[in-house]
């Protein structure tokens, strides 16, 4: 099982330039989605047929805080003029959607909130997601942002045979 992480406080724009470079939508994303895109890039870069649309790969995202870091930005915008571009990131599953769009994954996408980081609980849910017979692999993300500079971000690429 492939596992990656992004150190807390890393310069995400610099990582984007080094490791992605050709996906300018990145700049409109909140921190959570940026972390999801970068973690996925580290998991799947170099895969054969990388951007062929596929339904057999799920994207499962987990956190404690959900999207509260971005909710704070939206609340701030409400004082002045509520921002639709911030509002669309106030859902914990948007990061899964961004990963799907970038990588053309048309399989299951799900977002879960747990009381704490618990690898056993995460992988119990991951194994259960494979009850969908179409799902052959999954990008699994734990991305928990306290704010735009502090996070815990790690990812796994899980194949059905590995469980």
Partner 1 sequence: MRKVGIAGVGLVTPLGNRPADVLTAVRAGKSALALHPGFPEQYYASLLPREGACEEHFFEQVSLQAARMAVEDAGINPSDPSTGFVLSSIKGDIEHFGQNDVSLAYSAGNIARALGVQNPPIVVSNACISGLAALVQGMRMIRSGQYIRVIVVGTELQSPFIVTGFQSLKALSVEPCKPFDAHRVGLNLGEASAAMVLQADEGEWELVEGAIRNDANHISGPSRTGEGSYNALRAVLPHCDKKDLAFVNVHGTATVYNDEMEAIALSRAGLLDVPVNALKGYFGHTMGAAGILESILSMKALEAGVVLATRGFSELGVSFPVKVSAQEQKAAGRSFIKLLSGFGGVNGALLFRKGGSL
Residue 162 burial (CB count, 10 A): 10
Which CB sits closer to partner 1, 18 or 113? 113
Q: How many residues does the chain have?
A: 163
Rounded Cα gap, residues 98 and 161, in angstroms = 26
Rounded Cα gap, residues 27 and 158, in angstroms = 28
Binding-site size, partner 1 (CB under 8 A): 52
CA nearest to 158, candidates 91, 29, 62 = 62
CA nearest to 62, candidates 156, 133, 149 = 156
Which CB sits closer to partner 1, 18 or 28? 28
Instruction: Compute the least distance from the CB of residue 159 to partner 1, in Å.
Output: 18
| Footprint of partner 1 on 95-154 (CB under 8 A) | 96-98, 100-101, 103-116, 118, 121, 124-125, 127-129, 131-132, 134
Rounded Cα gap, residues 38 and 40, in angstroms = 5
Instruction: Compute the least distance from the CB of residue 54 to partner 1, in Å.
Output: 9
Among residues 39, 40, 44, 71, the one that binds partner 1 under rule CB under 8 A: 71
Q: What residues make contact with partner 1 under the rule CB under 8 A?
A: 53, 55, 59, 64-66, 68, 71-72, 74-75, 78, 81-84, 87-88, 90-94, 96-98, 100-101, 103-116, 118, 121, 124-125, 127-129, 131-132, 134
């Amino acid at each position: 099982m492939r596992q990656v992480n992004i150190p807390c406080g890393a310069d995400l724009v610099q990582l984007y330039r080094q490791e992605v470079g050709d996906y300018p939508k990145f700049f409109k994303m909140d921190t959570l989605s940026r972390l999801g895109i970068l973690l996925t890039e580290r998991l799947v870069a170099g895969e054969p047929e990388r951007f062929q649309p596929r339904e057999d790969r799920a994207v499962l995202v987990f956190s404690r805080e959900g999207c509260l870091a971005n909710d704070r930005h939206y609340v701030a915008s409400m004082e002045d003029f509520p921002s639709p571009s911030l509002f669309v990131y106030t859902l914990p599953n948007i990061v899964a959607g961004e990963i799907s769009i970038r990588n053309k994954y048309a399989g299951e996408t799900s977002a879960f909130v747990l009381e704490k980081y618990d690898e056993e609980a995460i992988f119990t849910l991951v194994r259960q997601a494979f009850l969908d017979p179409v799902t052959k692999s999954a990008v699994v993300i734990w991305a928990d942002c306290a704010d735009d500079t502090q996070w815990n971000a790690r990812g796994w690429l899980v194949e059905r045979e590995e469980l």
